[in-house]
Structures are given as structure tokens and as C-alpha cells.
Amino acid sequence: MKYSLYLLSFGIVLGLFWGCNKTPKKQEVKTAAVSPSHSHSQPQDTMKYEVEKTEEEWRNILTSKEYRILRNRGTELPYVNEYYNSKTEGVYYCGACGKPLFTSNTKYESGTGWPSFWQPISSSSIGTQKDESLFMTRTEVVCSRCGSHLGHVFKDGPEPTGLRYCLNSAALDFKEQNLNNINPDTLSILEK
């Protein structure tokens, strides 16, 4: 019984990270995004962001799930998260600081169980960095305003970009909006 529990736990953890990492390892991801040096779990992070808070301040603002994902670079379970299957028209914002990041116009069904997009609102909305955790190399996606972890980007998405921004629902806030009536360049920060 104890062995079965260990095997089941290992399978769940392995499935979480394999599911979002479908890109063949020999492909290199190139994004149009700004690439700040970001890693909240490493003390050498010296990148300055427009929004900077102490970890205590982040804990007071975010739920425990949001904090685990946005600030500790966590991952939520596939298929049981809020936005993976959403078809509602609107804008997705950073769950930590409210910066507009993606629209539903670039969201698509990737089959991974996480919300996936082929392009951010603008290349300056997000940043990327190399992530070598969990015995694999991936490209982490972070909010360019506060440096919070959003997910990862892979080079197996649809045209015209060929990219798949595989994000955590808990890292995002969503506001239903008619996209015909907005200019993505003039969207304001969503207050938390």
C-alpha cells in the first residue's frame, strides 16, 4: 500500500511537468519578448521591476495558491484550473500586479490542460528566462511589470508565431471585455 502511494505521487508529479513540456528538447525557443533576468528562488536576482514588494506584502495580497505559483514558480494541475477551457472574450491580466498580458483572441486549445496563447498583447508585456529546474530546460514566462512567474513558452504553437505560452490560471486574472472596442496598447492596469 505504501509503495503504491509513492508510485502514484511520483506519477502525478511527473505528469504535471511532462504535460506542459511537449516541445522536443533540441528545439530552441525564440521569443519577441523582453528577457529580464528573473528568478525569485535565487538570491542573485538583481532585476528591478516597476512593482516591487516584500514577500510579506505579496503574501498579504495573494491567496496561498497564487503566491505558490506567482512568487515561488509553482505549477497548478492540468484540466482542473479556471481558464484552460474558457471561451469567454476578454483580457487576461497578471494575477499579481494587474498588467494586461494576453487577450482571448490569441488563446487556443493546446490539449495540455493549461490556458495556452500564441502571442502576448505586446512583446513588452512579458519577459522570459531560461529555467533548468526539474531536470529539463524550458523558457519561463514572467510578468515584465512585477517579475511574477506565469508559466512557460514552447516552440510548438500555431501560426503565425509558432509559440505556445502555457500559463497557470492562478497566475492570471480575467476581465470579460468586447475586444472590438478596446485598444490593447491603452489598456490600464487591473486593480487587485
The span from the CA of 23 to the CA of 42, in Å, is 26
Determine which one of 97, 143, 146, 166 is catalytic. Answer: 166
Q: Which of 147, 146, 102, 139 is nearest to 123 (CA)?
A: 102
Let me know if 94 is a catalytic residue: no
β-strand partners of 131: 138
Strands (E), the chain: 90-94, 100-103, 107-108, 116-117, 126-131, 138-143, 149-154, 164-167, 172-176
The span from the CA of 144 to the CA of 129, in Å, is 11
Q: Which residues are catalytic?
A: 166
